[in-house]
Chains A and B, each alone.
Chain A
């Protein structure tokens, strides 16, 4: 049995750190590929899970400028409560800024265990955690459990730079030419989505198994973020003066130069109409996701073949797009994502 109780109701807005923590799980870990979804503000600030929800990456994010060992101990309380709960968590992570003072043996490390702390500070951390446990539960924590728990914690130092977190997710060609504000805008969008999910109240709700937490719909899928970024890439590139994708040139080689210009302009126009349309976004994402999934799994090379494959799989194409503009989109995606995987 697991009962949700929220301790911080004061801050409804997801802070930057919680978003960074999620994006860290999403692409900075060796096992990032195993993570399928992120539960926002359920078990903890962020909890990553695999598809079957049998493996959980539990993250507490702590954005406090001057963290000292005692405060670190206090900050570990939710992770610890989860550790001793009936639900199995696989990883325990405290996501925090770089520590200021000389608490650490090796300050250059960005991911470390409790062993990187000097001995006297370890004690402070333990004390801080114990004290907070007592304050919340009115009884003393089990010493062995605390010791075992502390061994399992990973301390992850957050980067100050929002841009890196987005850039790391998908490998694009031409990435260099894109300005930072673009990445910042995507970061902020994801943060705002997190805020929306945080506002779904589950105080006092009880579950037996971790999987049941999905019912609260406080989840962002890793793929959603991927797709979002790809979409924004396609968006900012519309009508830019970049080269026509070679694959698409192949498709329209029968036309003369002037006709080609018209076709490209019409394709760009059609795509911009689709992404500007605010009222059919559900369909749009299903369509966009299908395109990318087919693209990633298809053996076909030519955009037209991929288009045929989409048709045969009955992918619903937005009304605003005609055949050529879908093929154009496929060509762009195929060329931009060439190194992706």
Chain B
């Protein structure tokens, strides 16, 4: 991606920057307040970033325009507050929220935003989170967290890197829970089947035996009794679940009703009689309420009564279940457990169910489930391992980069972010961001430009600066840096000594007044292209 042109303003004042080239660009000035940060933040804002504009800048009164080239295509972004219009493939796409635009960029494959796990759900990474991959702003820097800290957190950034790395971190608990449950059920079934099989095998005459006695009256009677008891236990259990569900629904209903029973409507104070100071309360909606407090109280009481009733019913059903179970026990008091099963399954045995086959298919099912379970666990383990390896790899690059800039430096990195209590002094913070930005770039080899607003903050020495700019040049991609120069540096035209660098001097801009009349015509053309008319001014 290359940033080709950017600007911001409206129909009365504007600024446009169209001199950015594909290599290293340095925007500088001899003093602060020349608009460097506005331009940089404006570029990113138009692209959907969370803005960190200098305080007092009324961003809501302006349009922000950024033109980029990505995947060989030109795309223009125009943002006003939270609405963005995208000029893409000769069509205007209008988004009322940044999220909408995010989904569009992802679905159109313009930017392949990574999918990350957030709060147990898979979500597309926010643009503001993604942009921290290649953009370092001037303000709110904090090496122990991401700059746009808020909804997105440090862990989200790391999750995003893992996804980019090809091994997304996942929350496996939900996925495996269901499988583990299923495995349990199948294991029990396998056990029962095995027992049946054993019985059948140990006594090969069993089926003949059953066959013979199945016509015996007492046998049939016992079997039917048992079946009946089992059925009624099943029936009661079903009934109990239904009642429990009803009770839960009533509980929820009570909460719902309480929340519905709030009056949102308001009356208003009006003058009853013009010229008179008498004011009366009026609310022309004089219809009765849809229910009265008496009725509502009554309904609530009835619901609570029903719930109490359900409790009783549930207890009663549970008692019935126990009764039936006791009956069953009594019925079979002298019958060995295996025989009980045979009694229960006798019809199936006679009907010729192939227990061998059943066992096989059960085992097969179990195997598949176990495999699935392990593979989920393995891939999660693998992802964790990969995450750690990725971290070390990036940190190593950071260390190397740091030694190049500052061979005698004390700084040491052991993670992408610092620990909370670590504070960097002076130039260290700047060096950290420099190392991280370039390390991420070299590790992921991403296609985005590198943008650092105020890349010399904290008094980076001229020598270090030279190394940094050289390194930036070596990336052979678009780099946009800004810097405020001291008077002697500025007078010495310090950036003139570099080859192949685009230097943009903003010193000529008036203090606090980067926006001016000169660009209004061009801005108007841009706005017109986006079908935005000059209404505000003519009216």
A residues engaging B (CB < 8 A)?
181-182, 185-186, 189, 193, 196-197, 199-201, 217, 224, 228, 231-232, 235-236, 238-241, 258, 261-262, 265-266, 269, 272-282, 284-285
A185, A231, A261, A278: residue with the most chain B Cβ atoms closer than 10 Å: A278
Q: Note all chain B residues with C-beta closer than 8 A to A279.
A: 262-265
A261-B261 contact given A185-B294, A275-B290, A277-B290, CB 8 Å threshold? no
Say whether B291 contacts A276, CB under 8 Å: yes
Say whether A196 contacts B286, CB under 8 Å: yes
Binds A, one of B122-130, B209-217, B252-260, B424-432: B252-260
Say whether A189 contacts B250, CB under 8 Å: no
| Chain B residue nearest in CB terms to A285 | B287
Q: Which of B265-300 contact A (CB under 8 A)?
A: 265, 272-273, 280-282, 284-296, 298-299
Q: Which of A181, A193, A272, A277 is the one whose CB lies under 8 Å from B253?
A: A272
- Interchain Cβ contacts under 8 Å between A and B, 22 examples: A185-B293, A193-B288, A201-B272, A201-B273, A201-B280, A231-B290, A232-B294, A232-B295, A235-B299, A238-B299, A239-B306, A241-B305, A262-B242, A265-B249, A265-B250, A266-B249, A273-B260, A276-B257, A276-B290, A276-B299, A281-B285, A282-B287
Contact of B341 with A by CB under 8 A: no
Bound state CA distance, A279 and B264, in angstroms? Answer: 6
Q: Note all chain B residues with C-beta closer than 8 A to A224.
A: 287-288
Bound state CA distance, A228 and B290, in angstroms? Answer: 8
Say whether A269 contacts B249, CB under 8 Å: yes
Bound state CA distance, A280 and B264, in angstroms? Answer: 10
Q: Note all chain A residues with C-beta closer than 8 A to B256.
A: 273
Q: Which of B221-271 contact A (CB under 8 A)?
A: 238-239, 242, 246, 249-250, 253, 256-257, 260-265
Q: Note all chain A residues with C-beta closer than 8 A to B302.
A: 238-240
A181-B294 contact given A278-B260, A278-B262, A278-B263, CB 8 Å threshold? yes
A284-B290 contact given A276-B296, A278-B260, CB 8 Å threshold? yes
Say whether B289 contacts A281, CB under 8 Å: yes
Q: Note all chain A residues with C-beta closer than 8 A to B280.
A: 199, 201
A239-B303 contact given A217-B284, A232-B292, A281-B287, CB 8 Å threshold? yes
Q: Which of A258, A262, A281 is the one whose CB lies under 8 Å from B288?
A: A281
Bound state CA distance, A236 and B298, in angstroms? Answer: 6
| Chain B residue nearest in CB terms to A193 | B288
Q: Note all chain A residues with C-beta closer than 8 A to B238.
A: 258
| Chain B residue nearest in CB terms to A179 | B298
Q: A232-B295, A278-B289 are in contact. List 10 more A-B contacts (CB 8 A).
A: A217-B286, A232-B291, A258-B238, A265-B250, A266-B249, A269-B253, A273-B257, A275-B296, A276-B257, A278-B263
Top 10 closest pairs, chain A to chain B, by CB? A235-B295, A185-B294, A239-B302, A275-B291, A276-B260, A236-B298, A275-B290, A276-B257, A284-B290, A278-B263
Say whether A235 contacts B291, CB under 8 Å: yes
| Chain A residue nearest in CB terms to B295 | A235
| Chain B residue nearest in CB terms to A320 | B260
Bound state CA distance, A274 and B285, in angstroms? Answer: 18
A189-B288 contact given A239-B306, A269-B253, A279-B265, CB 8 Å threshold? yes
Q: Note all chain A residues with C-beta closer than 8 A to B289.
A: 278, 281
Say whether A239 contacts B292, CB under 8 Å: no
Quote the shortest CB–CB distance from A51 to chain B (angstroms): 19
B281, B288, B303: residue with the most chain A Cβ atoms closer than 10 Å: B288
A238, A276, A281: residue with the most chain B Cβ atoms closer than 10 Å: A276
Say whether B295 contacts A282, CB under 8 Å: no
Q: Note all chain B residues with C-beta closer than 8 A to A262.
A: 242, 246
Quote the shortest CB–CB distance from A79 to chain B (angstroms): 27
Q: Note all chain B residues with C-beta closer than 8 A to A239.
A: 299, 302-303, 305-306
Quote the shortest CB–CB distance from B222 to chain A (angstroms): 30
Q: Note all chain A residues with C-beta closer than 8 A to B295.
A: 185, 232, 235-236, 275
Bound state CA distance, A236 and B290, in angstroms? Answer: 12
Quote the shortest CB–CB distance from B313 to chain A (angstroms): 10
Q: Note all chain B residues with C-beta closer than 8 A to A261.
A: 242, 246
Quote the shortest CB–CB distance from B307 to chain A (angstroms): 10
A193-B246 contact given A231-B291, A272-B257, CB 8 Å threshold? no
Bound state CA distance, A258 and B280, in angstroms? Answer: 55
Q: Note all chain A residues with C-beta closer than 8 A to B263.
A: 278-279
Q: Note all chain A residues with C-beta closer than 8 A to B288.
A: 189, 193, 224, 228, 281, 285
A258-B261 contact given A238-B299, A282-B287, CB 8 Å threshold? no
Quote the shortest CB–CB distance from B308 to chain A (angstroms): 12
Quote the shortest CB–CB distance from B255 to chain A (angstroms): 11
| Chain B residue nearest in CB terms to A236 | B298
Q: Note all chain A residues with C-beta closer than 8 A to B272.
A: 201
Q: Note all chain A residues with C-beta closer than 8 A to B281.
A: 199
Bound state CA distance, A238 and B304, in angstroms? Answer: 12
| Chain A residue nearest in CB terms to B293 | A185
Q: Which of B146-194 contact A (CB under 8 A)?
A: none
A276-B261 contact given A235-B298, A269-B249, CB 8 Å threshold? yes
Bound state CA distance, A147 and B298, in angstroms? Answer: 53
Q: Note all chain A residues with C-beta closer than 8 A to B299.
A: 235-236, 238-239, 272, 275-276
Bound state CA distance, A269 and B257, in angstroms? Answer: 9
Bound state CA distance, A274 and B261, in angstroms? Answer: 10
Bound state CA distance, A285 and B273, in angstroms? Answer: 31
Interface string of B77-99 (1 = CB under 8 A from A): 00000000000000000000000
Quote the shortest CB–CB distance from B338 to chain A (angstroms): 35
Say whether A277 contacts B249, CB under 8 Å: no
B284, B285, B296, B305: residue with the most chain A Cβ atoms closer than 10 Å: B296
Q: Note all chain A residues with C-beta closer than 8 A to B294.
A: 181-182, 185-186, 232, 236
Say whether A282 contacts B285, CB under 8 Å: yes
Q: Note all chain B residues with C-beta closer than 8 A to A181.
A: 294
Q: Note all chain A residues with C-beta closer than 8 A to B264.
A: 278-279
| Chain B residue nearest in CB terms to A224 | B288
Q: Which of B261, B265, B292 is the one whose CB lies under 8 Å from A189?
A: B292
Bound state CA distance, A112 and B407, in angstroms? Answer: 116
Q: Which of B348-384 contact A (CB under 8 A)?
A: none
Bound state CA distance, A196 and B288, in angstroms? Answer: 11
Q: Note all chain B residues with C-beta closer than 8 A to A278.
A: 260-265, 289-290
Interface string of B406-437 (1 = CB under 8 A from A): 00000000000000000000000000000000
| Chain B residue nearest in CB terms to A227 | B288
Bound state CA distance, A239 and B273, in angstroms? Answer: 48
Say whether B239 contacts A258, CB under 8 Å: yes
Q: Which of B293-342 contact A (CB under 8 A)?
A: 293-296, 298-299, 302-303, 305-306, 309
| Chain B residue nearest in CB terms to A275 | B291
Quote the shortest CB–CB distance from A112 to chain B (angstroms): 35
A281-B290 contact given A236-B298, A239-B306, CB 8 Å threshold? yes
